[in-house]
Amino acid sequence: MSFSIKAPAKLNLRLKITGRRQDGFHLLSMLNVPIDLFDMLKLEFSEEEGPFFVISPLSTVSLSDLQDNRENIAYKAAKLFLSEFPMPLYPKLSLEKHIPFGAGLGGGSSDAAAVLRLFAKAWKALNPSSEAISLE
């Protein structure tokens, strides 16, 4: 059983800081558009334990950017999901990286959102009698 999804990049046409929240984060007004660049994520399951998170860099991504998977936001999203919704099989999450790190194209955020959508879809398929997980 496997699932795959594209995590699209976006381009900010306008970004304005409109204030600051009490927690220190900025309030933003943004105008962005999708662009024809995306990372590809694939979620597979096995009865045998293997590597959990694999990143494949392509020409736009430097291997030095991939040093520590535990700091990757997609990895963190997957681990958080699994801490709340354990799977009956061993998951393997593959990230084919096309969006450059730190380019301001939203790659990390898009990857994390795609991971949550993938795991929610897998949860429903592996636990058909359970209540569906809504990410809306």
- With b meaning 16 or more CB within 10 Å and e meaning fewer, what string describes 44-83? bbeeeeeeebebebeeebeeeeeeebeebebbebbeebee
* pLDDT above 60 (res 77): yes
- Average pLDDT value over all residues in the chain: 86
Kindly list the strands in the beta sheet with 90-97, ordered across the sheet, starting from the edge strand earlier in the chain. Answer: 2-20, 26-46, 90-97, 53-57
Check residue 71 and give its pLDDT: 76
* pLDDT above 60 (res 136): no
Specify the pTM. 0.80
Check residue 68 and give its pLDDT: 56
CA 6 to chain centre: 10
For 36-46, write each residue's pLDDT tens digit. 999 999 999 98
Name the token pair of 18. 């409109």
For 56-67, write each residue's pLDDT tens digit. 766 555 445 554
Check residue 69 and give its pLDDT: 67
Name the token pair of 30. 């943004």
The CATH number assigned to the domain with range 2-8+36-126 reads: 3.30.230.10
Check residue 39 and give its pLDDT: 94
What value does the mean pLDDT take over residues 45-72?
Answer: 69
Tell me the sheet residues that pair with 45: 91
How many residues does this entry show for the chain? 136
